Chain A
């Protein structure tokens, strides 16, 4: 009879105890996987979607709100800014690229974003079917938007999709993007002029050759500034002219800027905030604040996961230590017939390893399926294309859990190896 048979027989004999230990370990592993995957996904989205965007310019208000609404499209905009004013900063010598965004409408929860083609290029997204928009009311939809080429739809005012519909301005889908794992996957992209036209504002003209945008025709002088709805509610974004007959001056919601130098990242926002009526926000700074505020920083995840691992290790420890009382007679027999202390330690450690491995397998599967199920059940996760990805952190935690599980068996193993043989044999029932 080899030691493996002895271990399996011993575990089977204590199946309920072992089952509970495996269950607790599996629970810990599941939690660790889900926590690390959420952390990875959020971190990935924050970094991917915010990559190469140094400054966001928009209406005065909360910088975090501006960043969330303009980069991640998860909050209402702070308001609109006159395109003429925005244009001044887009053409600033320290600006390398500038992408205009005009928000305000949506379709079934998917935001309609008036922008330039450079927005697609910025995320290195590719068109899967169809083509990019050319004319007004032509749109390109992200991979997660349930629309296909040649579909028609009508946008609703506001960002929830349950408000007034722009019945007179149906959009036509002319292209669909490949999944890019970025915010584009859940957006509906069109020209800035489409959004302006829907809201009764003057066209702007884009200069594609320089990737900058500027107004060839600025009608501010003719129409003056017009703001009828305010900016801080669900309808924030483009002001909605319900009559849609009289054009007002062009306004956009935000500009995403890539600067030419790191020093410009610091100086340009200061200049804008000081010398203009606009707000310039630093996305890196704001997302760091967001992480801290929501407690989703790396440290929070690590600490929480650490406690889960400790719980799992303690369950293995208590399972093995608790069972020692009942099996010390068996262990005394093994010691008496010549099993060395080292061999007894190896046997108990192996039991810990078997329990931990079983917990890792069960918890691993539950964690993967659980996370993927949550990704399907929770709309924002589904929309952002979240799914289980084996990350360095998840793999590290799995290794740490295995080591912790085996280490948890060490104390019971040493105790088992040092039992009083004679006492156990003589007191055994």
Chain B
């Protein structure tokens, strides 16, 4: 079992308002949180990824209870196990593409960075500042950053919301291909129904 989410509560809602009182996610399985804007799917994603503190209930990741971990231990858990693809990409503009990717890598595996640069067709731009990249290049850098630490879970918030069909398909292909290589699970939050078929479990948040 990768995740076990029990009776989750937050200041703004109870789990009952969002998802079942017990939600389990198996290893190597992909979960999609789908729903309209403002339904709480991003909040749920942030809670599961440990970016937001839970008010009540518990989230257990690989046997480790979030409520039992200190803030520092939770930071370490996130750094070692999770990769993030943010809705606004959130690259650090004054760093190069290569630096943005290696920023998330804590084990100094240069070989894996080179592999990602090649796989995502970024070698040519690796020394270009992130602020100077096109949106497509920046999106690929953000995916590479999420994979740099060979995470067991990739969290993606609205990964295709601003993309046309072709690009949305391309981005999801990249994410799933790389997740397959590293054996990572993907947990994504979106209102984009085009990508539903790719996930093992689709949870309609707020229904």
Most buried by B among A6, A333, A429: A333
B3 at the interface (CB under 8 A from A): no
Q: How far is the CB of B179 from chain A (nearest CB, A)?
A: 17
Judge whether A340 and B75 touch: CB under 8 Å: yes
Q: A9-B94, A425-B86 are in contact. Are A338 and B106 (CB under 8 A)?
A: yes
Residues of A within 8 A of B51 (CB): 336, 421-422
The chain B residue with its CB closest to the CB of A13 is: B94
Residues of B within 8 A of A342 (CB): 72
Residues of A within 8 A of B78 (CB): 336-338
Residues of B within 8 A of A13 (CB): 93-94
Contact digits for A413-429, partner B, Cβ 8 Å, 1 yes 0 no? 00000000110011011
Q: A338-B76, A338-B106 are in contact. Are A333 and B92 (CB under 8 A)?
A: yes
The chain A residue with its CB closest to the CB of B46 is: A422
Contact digits for A315-344, partner B, Cβ 8 Å, 1 yes 0 no? 000000000000001101111111111100
B187 at the interface (CB under 8 A from A): no
Q: A337-B84, A338-B75 are in contact. Are A1 and B106 (CB under 8 A)?
A: no
Judge whether A339 and B75 touch: CB under 8 Å: yes
Judge whether A329 and B95 touch: CB under 8 Å: no
A330 to B131, CA, bound (A): 12
B16 at the interface (CB under 8 A from A): no
B69 at the interface (CB under 8 A from A): no
Q: How far is the CB of A300 from chain B (nearest CB, A)?
A: 45
Residues of A within 8 A of B104 (CB): 337-338
Contact digits for B42-70, partner A, Cβ 8 Å, 1 yes 0 no? 10001000011000000000000000000
B90 at the interface (CB under 8 A from A): yes
Judge whether B72 and A329 touch: CB under 8 Å: no
Q: A1-B102, A337-B103, A338-B106 are in contact. Are A330 and B52 (CB under 8 A)?
A: no
Judge whether B90 and A329 touch: CB under 8 Å: yes
Residues of A within 8 A of B106 (CB): 338
- Chain B contributes a number of interface residues (CB within 8 A of A) equal to 28
The chain A residue with its CB closest to the CB of B71 is: A341
Judge whether B99 and A336 touch: CB under 8 Å: no
A252 to B172, CA, bound (A): 104
Q: How far is the CB of B87 from chain A (nearest CB, A)?
A: 8
B207 at the interface (CB under 8 A from A): no
Residues of A within 8 A of B14 (CB): none
Contact digits for B83-123, partner A, Cβ 8 Å, 1 yes 0 no? 01011101111110001001110100000000000000000
Q: How far is the CB of B31 from chain A (nearest CB, A)?
A: 19
Q: How far is the CB of B20 from chain A (nearest CB, A)?
A: 24
Residues of A within 8 A of B91 (CB): 333
Most buried by B among A1, A332, A426: A1
- Chain A contributes a number of interface residues (CB within 8 A of B) equal to 26
Q: How far is the CB of A322 from chain B (nearest CB, A)?
A: 17
B80 at the interface (CB under 8 A from A): yes
Q: How far is the CB of A323 from chain B (nearest CB, A)?
A: 12
Q: A338-B79, A338-B80 are in contact. Are A425 and B88 (CB under 8 A)?
A: yes
Residues of B within 8 A of A334 (CB): 103
Judge whether B79 and A339 touch: CB under 8 Å: yes
Q: Which of A343-387 contact B (CB under 8 A)?
A: none
Q: How far is the CB of B51 from chain A (nearest CB, A)?
A: 5
The chain B residue with its CB closest to the CB of A337 is: B104
Judge whether A6 and B103 touch: CB under 8 Å: yes
A412 to B88, CA, bound (A): 25
A426 to B42, CA, bound (A): 10
A35 to B79, CA, bound (A): 50
Judge whether B88 and A428 touch: CB under 8 Å: yes
Q: How far is the CB of B109 from chain A (nearest CB, A)?
A: 13
A10 at the interface (CB under 8 A from B): yes
A275 at the interface (CB under 8 A from B): no
Judge whether A12 and B90 touch: CB under 8 Å: no
The chain A residue with its CB closest to the CB of B96 is: A9
Judge whether A10 and B84 touch: CB under 8 Å: no
A209 at the interface (CB under 8 A from B): no
The chain B residue with its CB closest to the CB of A329 is: B90
Judge whether A336 and B95 touch: CB under 8 Å: no
Residues of A within 8 A of B71 (CB): 340-341
Q: How far is the CB of B203 from chain A (nearest CB, A)?
A: 20
Q: How far is the CB of B65 from chain A (nearest CB, A)?
A: 19
Judge whether B95 and A9 touch: CB under 8 Å: yes
Q: How far is the CB of A336 from chain B (nearest CB, A)?
A: 6
Judge whether B88 and A340 touch: CB under 8 Å: no
| Known contacts A335-B75, A336-B90, A340-B76, then 20 further A-B pairs from the complex at CB < 8 Å, ordered by chain A residue | A1-B95, A6-B99, A13-B93, A13-B94, A329-B90, A333-B86, A333-B90, A333-B92, A334-B103, A337-B79, A337-B104, A338-B78, A338-B82, A340-B71, A340-B72, A341-B72, A421-B51, A422-B51, A425-B86, A426-B42
A-B contacts, 16 listed (Cβ < 8 Å): A1-B102, A5-B99, A329-B90, A333-B90, A336-B84, A337-B78, A337-B145, A338-B80, A338-B104, A338-B106, A339-B75, A340-B75, A341-B71, A421-B51, A425-B88, A429-B88
